[in-house]
Amino acid sequence: MAESVPPPPGGKRKSSKKRKIVFDSDAKETAKRLKRGPGVNLKSITDKKLKGKLRRAEAVFSSSQKKAAQISEWLLPATAGTLVAEGIERTWNFKQEDIVQAVDVTAARKAFDLSLPELGPYKLNFTRNGRFMLLGGSLGHLAIMDWQRAHLVCEVQVREAVRDVVFLHNETFFAAAQKKYVYVYDKRGLEVHCLRAHVRANVLDFLPHHFLLTSIGKHGGHNWVSNGVTIWSYRLCGTNHDGVLRYQDTSTGQIVAQHKTLLGPCSVMRHNPHNGVILLGHARGCVTMWTPNMTTAAVKMLCHRGPLNALAVDASGTYMATAGMDSQIKVWDVRMLRPMHDYYSPAPVTRMDISQRGLLAVGYGRKVQVWQDALRNKAQSPYLTHNLPEGVTEVFRFCPYEDVLGIGHSAGISTILVPGAGEPNFDSFVANPFQTVKQRQQQEVVALLDKLQPDTIVLDPDMIGRVRKEPAEVARQRRQEEAAANTARRVAMRREAETKDKMKGKNRPSRRHRKKQNNIIEDRKPAVKERQKEEAARRKEATEKSEAAIPKDAPRAVRRFYKS
Amino acid sequence: MKVKVITRSEEDYTRERTSDLRKVQRNYDPLLHPLEKAKEYTRALNSAKLDRIFAKPFLAALQHDDGVTCLARNPKLVNSIVAGSADGDIRIWDIPRQRTLRRLVGHTGAVKGISFTPDGQTCVSASTDATVKLWKVPYAPFEAGVVQDDAEAVFEFHGKNAFRGIDHHWDRSSFATAGVAVDIWDHSRSEPIQTLTWGSDTVTSVRFNPAEPDVFASTGSDRAITLYDLRRATPLRKVVMQTRSNALAWNPMEPFNFTAANEDCCLYTFDMRKLGSALSVHKDFVSAVMDVDYSPTGREFVAGSYDRSLRIFSVSGGHSREVYTTKRMQRVFAVRFSGDATYVFSGSDDMNVRCWKAKASEQLGIRLPREKHKQAYHDALLERYKHMPEVKRIVRHRHLPAAIYKAAKMRRTVVESDRRKLQRRIEHSAPGSIVVQTERKRKILAQVE
């Protein structure tokens, strides 16, 4: 039998205090980020049961937030990359060769140059876990490679113009925007689908949580079949629009939406990973934001004086960087839709990308520059610079979860090391670079079960959980509208009843007219009553105020001296 | 310069041997988990749909030779149930093997009530042939196969009139029978040791309070629910309602509350200390409610009705959580919850005792910890999102037979039109001239002491 501890003399026994969790400054910031917003204000709730329930729920949330912060502080295995210049060195002076020399073998292998000069400028895409790389040469060379192990998964020559390539939900499928249509290929290089809805697509993008393949291209003409001969007639139907944005669900094959942007041909398209909204950059300098639910743009922002060259959105969906023909790079707060910083470059920047940790890569021609912390604050100097040995840049893509920037150019593919670009700790249930076949199959099933419907794409994804409270003005307006509708109905009913045109008797015109005048007062009654009520309330308040100014123990005779 | 680049060695992130578990890395940073609210809502919708897909509550039907009139649960054994039928036949069922262990022969009239002694080894049964018989209840043997034996009563108590109900005390060796009046019997006496009566109406059912040893309640054909105390010679008080109550059940966790199954298709939960108003009114049936029984958790109860359905209600009020019907199940006369709150038994007019799951989509048997966690997650999601219109539509959806559906629709229109009429009357009469009684007080006519 356990002995009970006798209470200490002189006072109550101290109750066991929970260990207070103290964070240092970095961890505090992580803890704040993990909080996902402020808690519910419990003071304003009068219902006791609801208050108790919410109090318990808030306690659970705060304890789970603290535990997650502790885990992120102690249990995450890796830390982010860094590049520190010592003494008079500057980080932008370091060459890739120096960096590759200074890191270990496995990291050094990640920086390479693939020379493929014959088959045109190459477009590039990475899978969500950063393991596989998809190459698409403009002259029809498509290939998937496990780039870290230098292993080629598949290769296919389609011998047609390829304008863009994108992976679908994992490495087993990819889509290529070819000369006329978009084709979907397997990871063995076999053509699986020909998506005839996407005509002359310029850019492709894939929304992973919604399984939506988006393309921006032409609308194309109708094809009419007559006597078995297909007739193409552009003039007859007149629907040969440029800049048509198409959403297709790759799990069901359904075309979810087709929007005519009406802003001319467009070749700049990115998606905002935070809310799944598609951003297009147009030739007239405006950026439009699209959801599949609205036929017009949700947002239209005039960004540059001149056409947009490139666009990039950061992973948290807070910042957007745009580059235009006017040699300016502008950073915008995409939630508030406000400009933040401007940068000026000697020549217009044509390619741009933002990494997972917020590094901005910009480039034109052979030059590549990576800027650190250029989004939240205005950076004064770049972080890294690189000049391509051969070729002109075509596309930049940061590899997820790796400190690597993939550059597609006209002479092949290059990768450069950018310390601090990638998120060091991945989540196995989101994206696992060391995925086995079985894990990939399981993840596919789970992703399909969790697939979000296209009508959940909204500009503010937090809107979904909010409680909508009706402000007093809306309620009052609604009451006014109801009253107006009621009077209109009553008037209509009365007009219906008055269709008789008797000249004499009870229903003669003069009598009807008199009744009508009476009824006008009747219609005005509720508004008059409302005003009288307000007036009475105001008067009562005024008398209360004046009475409150008079102290209670003052004799009645002196009260008039207190009235102001 | 000082450079550090992300490098991951494959050994750190993959397993060494096939017998090892696969390594899982977690990062709870919200940057890696976008669109959380939409995903959670989608998962809630999916779990509502899965809940309906896996809702297969019917387990077994156990055959009798005549309509089943009463059921009894053994307080010491979870796997057996005793059912009495209209031809006087009592069977002890071994539920897991779905076989009859014993047939207790002896009664010549319909068996109206069965109740177990506190040790779970004997039971008493009351019948319309004016006898109460005491039986020995065996344990289920381990060997499989047909066992059925016939057994005779150990002791017989003879009364003057037909009995309508019986309830054994949960601690003593005495039991109460309901008939012309409430009789209190003891095992050692062949005559009732006490008779309690109030008025000249039949008493239809009697139930002992699960916490107070001397308090019990009865329902009678005078439309009243009467409270008694064994230490007094006369009943304590009674609450008279508009319609008769058929059965009564005490809440095992809140023993001052009881629920009465009424003829007007509703169940009324009362606090025995304040009989002036019902605690809650449970409305979902379309015909008279015949029997009610509480779950051992005290949070919900099951009721069976004359309209061929049985429903599971939550104690806090509101509509029924679940409704079970079958084409072959006729009027339900007796219902019982199982001892582990997992199953529900119904005895009905079609000569069957049916065994159902209390939670229709529950996976029975031993579940792995991961399965349990997943199920708990699904339940939590449903709990959080059950008010959203899309989810609510799926969660609430139950198929009802055409007769019950149409009857319910008719009741709704009647109630709605009554309500509208009352509202108009109030609108067009002097304020305060029409007094509207709350639903909880409407059906209570009087409290008599």
User: What does DSSP assign to residue A454?
Assistant: G
In chain B, the residue whose alpha carbon lies closest to the alpha carbon of A431 is B32
A43 min Cα distance to partner chain B (Å):
22
User: What does DSSP assign to residue A464?
Assistant: G
A11 min Cα distance to partner chain B (Å):
38
CB contact under 8 A, A451 and B34: no
CB contact under 8 A, A427 and B3: no
CB contact under 8 A, B32 and A430: yes
CA distance B241 to A447: 57
CB contact under 8 A, B26 and A428: yes
CB contact under 8 A, A34 and B29: yes
What is the DSSP secondary-structure string of A178-243?
ESSSEEEEETTS-EEEEETTSEEEEEEEEETTTTEEEEEEE----EEEETTEEEE-HHHH----S-
CB contact under 8 A, B29 and A36: no
**Which amino acid is located at B284 in the chain?**
D
CA distance B292 to B242: 19
CB contact under 8 A, B28 and A419: no
Task: Decide: B83 and B347 in contact? Cβ < 8 Å.
Answer: yes
In chain A, the residue whose alpha carbon lies closest to the alpha carbon of B1 is A85
B36 min Cα distance to partner chain A (Å):
9
* Among the partner residues B2, B12, B23, nearest to A84 by beta-carbon distance: B2
Task: Measure the N-to-C terminal CA separation of chain B; round to a whole number of Å.
Answer: 96
The ranges of chain B with pLDDT < 50 are none
A87 min Cα distance to partner chain B (Å):
9
Number of neighbours of residue A16 by Cβ within 10 angstroms: 6
Ramachandran angles phi, psi of B407, nearest 5°: -65, -40
Number of neighbours of residue A286 by Cβ within 10 angstroms: 18
Q: DSSP 3-state assignment of A554?
A: coil
CA distance A304 to A210: 31
* Among the partner residues B7, B13, B22, nearest to A106 by beta-carbon distance: B7
User: What does DSSP assign to residue B366?
Assistant: -
Q: Give the pLDDT of residue A465.
A: 74
**A97 has a chain B CB within 8 A of its CB:** no
Q: DSSP 3-state assignment of A144?
A: strand
**Chain B contact set for A430 (CB, 8 A):** 27, 32-33
How many CB pairs (< 8 A) connect A and B? 140
CB contact under 8 A, B25 and A103: no
CA distance A182 to A229: 24
B259 bridge partner residues: B249, B269
Task: Decide: A249 and A454 in contact? Cβ < 8 Å.
Answer: yes
What is the DSSP secondary-structure string of B122-157?
EEEEEETTSEEEEEE-PPPPSS-S---EEE--SEEE
* CA B290 from centroid of its chain's CA atoms: 11
Q: Give the pLDDT of residue A70.
A: 84
The model carries a pTM of 0.83
Ramachandran angles phi, psi of A91, nearest 5°: -65, -30
**Chain A contact set for B45 (CB, 8 A):** none
A421 min Cα distance to partner chain B (Å):
9
Number of neighbours of residue B307 by Cβ within 10 angstroms: 22
Within 13 Å and on the Cβ side, how many CA atoms surround A368? 30
CA distance A424 to A489: 67
| Residue in A135, A131, A232 with CA at minimum distance from that of residue A189 | A135
What is the DSSP secondary-structure string of A56-97?
HHHHHHHHHHHHHHHHHHHT------EEE--TT--GGG--HH
Ramachandran angles phi, psi of A70, nearest 5°: -65, -45
Q: DSSP 3-state assignment of A371?
A: strand
CB contact under 8 A, B29 and A429: no
CB contact under 8 A, B34 and A274: yes
Q: Give the pLDDT of residue A3.
A: 44
Mutate to test the interface with B, among A106, A110, A293, A446 (most CBs of B within 10 A): A106
Mutate to test the interface with A, among B2, B6, B36, B40 (most CBs of A within 10 A): B6
CA distance B250 to A175: 66
Q: Give the pLDDT of residue A501.
A: 62
Which H or E run contains B78? Answer: none
In chain B, the residue whose alpha carbon lies closest to the alpha carbon of A438 is B22
The token duo for B173 is 């060796």
CB contact under 8 A, A427 and B5: no
CB contact under 8 A, A33 and B29: yes
**Which amino acid is located at B19 in the chain?**
S
Task: Decide: B268 and B278 in contact? Cβ < 8 Å.
Answer: yes
Instruction: Say yes or no: ipTM exceeds 0.90.
Output: no
**CB contact set of B374 (below 8 Å; sequence gap of 6+):** none
Per residue in B21-35, is it b (16+ CB within 10 Å) or e — as a string?
eeeebbbbbebbebb
| Residue in B267, B176, B155, B257 with CA at minimum distance from that of residue B210 | B257
CA distance A85 to B65: 93
Bridging pattern class, strands B149-151 and B99-104: parallel
Task: Decide: A344 and A328 in contact? Cβ < 8 Å.
Answer: yes
Q: Give the pLDDT of residue A20.
A: 63
**CA angle B368–B372–B374, rounded 5-degree value:** 115
Give me the count of residues in chain A: 564
CB contact under 8 A, B25 and A428: yes
CA distance B443 to B240: 9
CB contact under 8 A, A434 and B13: yes
Task: Decide: B240 and B223 in contact? Cβ < 8 Å.
Answer: yes
**Chain A contact set for B11 (CB, 8 A):** none
CA distance B168 to B172: 8
User: What does DSSP assign to residue B274?
Assistant: B
**Which amino acid is located at A416 in the chain?**
I
Task: Provide the greatest CA pair distance for chain B.
Answer: 107
**Chain A contact set for B7 (CB, 8 A):** 103-104, 106-107
Ramachandran angles phi, psi of B287, nearest 5°: -145, 175
| Residue in B155, B102, B93, B98 with CA at minimum distance from that of residue B125 | B155
Tell me the C-alpha to C-alpha distance, in Å, between residue B107 and each of A183, A508, B130, B131, B172. 81, 88, 9, 8, 25
Residues of A numbered 356-415 whose beta carbons fall under 8 angstroms of chain B's beta carbons: which are they? 356, 401-403
Q: Give the pLDDT of residue A234.
A: 43
* CA B129 from centroid of its chain's CA atoms: 28
The token duo for A78 is 């890796």
**CB contact set of A45 (below 8 Å; sequence gap of 6+):** A51, A54
Q: DSSP 3-state assignment of B373?
A: helix
**A427 has a chain B CB within 8 A of its CB:** yes
**CB contact set of B310 (below 8 Å; sequence gap of 6+):** B302, B303, B304, B323, B324, B325, B332, B335, B344, B346, B356
CB contact under 8 A, A77 and B10: no
* Among the partner residues B4, B32, B42, nearest to A450 by beta-carbon distance: B42
Q: DSSP 3-state assignment of A363?
A: strand
Tell me the C-alpha to C-alpha distance, in Å, between residue A421 and each of A82, A295, A404. 9, 36, 7
Q: DSSP 3-state assignment of B62?
A: strand
**A36 has a chain B CB within 8 A of its CB:** yes
Task: Provide the greatest CA pair distance for chain A.
Answer: 112
* Among the partner residues B6, B14, B35, nearest to A403 by beta-carbon distance: B6
* Among the partner residues B6, B36, B43, nearest to A424 by beta-carbon distance: B6
Q: Give the pLDDT of residue A6.
A: 53
Bridging pattern class, strands A412-417 and A404-409: antiparallel
| Residue in B221, B128, B227, B209 with CA at minimum distance from that of residue B167 | B209
**CA angle B442–B447–B449, rounded 5-degree value:** 175
Per-residue pLDDT of B346-370, as tens digits, reads 999 999 999 999 999 999 999 999 9
Give me the count of residues in chain B: 449
B210 min Cα distance to partner chain A (Å):
28
CA distance B359 to B378: 14
Place of tokens 């104690």: B315
Sign of CA dihedral A189, A195, A200, A202: negative
CA distance B4 to A104: 9
Digits of tens for pLDDT over chain A (564 positions)? 444 455 555 445 454 455 666 656 666 777 777 887 778 888 888 888 889 999 999 999 888 888 888 888 888 888 999 999 999 999 999 999 999 999 999 999 999 999 999 999 999 999 999 999 999 999 999 999 999 999 999 999 999 999 999 999 999 999 999 999 999 999 999 999 999 999 999 999 999 999 999 999 877 654 444 444 444 444 444 456 789 999 999 999 999 999 999 999 999 999 999 999 999 999 999 999 999 999 999 999 999 999 999 999 999 999 999 999 999 999 999 999 999 999 999 999 999 999 999 999 999 999 999 999 999 999 999 999 999 999 999 999 999 999 999 999 999 999 999 999 999 999 999 999 999 999 999 999 999 999 999 999 999 998 887 776 667 777 888 888 999 998 888 888 888 777 666 678 887 888 888 887 776 656 667 778 888 999 999 999 988 887 777 777 888 888 778 765
| Residue in B114, B230, B124, B133 with CA at minimum distance from that of residue B173 | B124
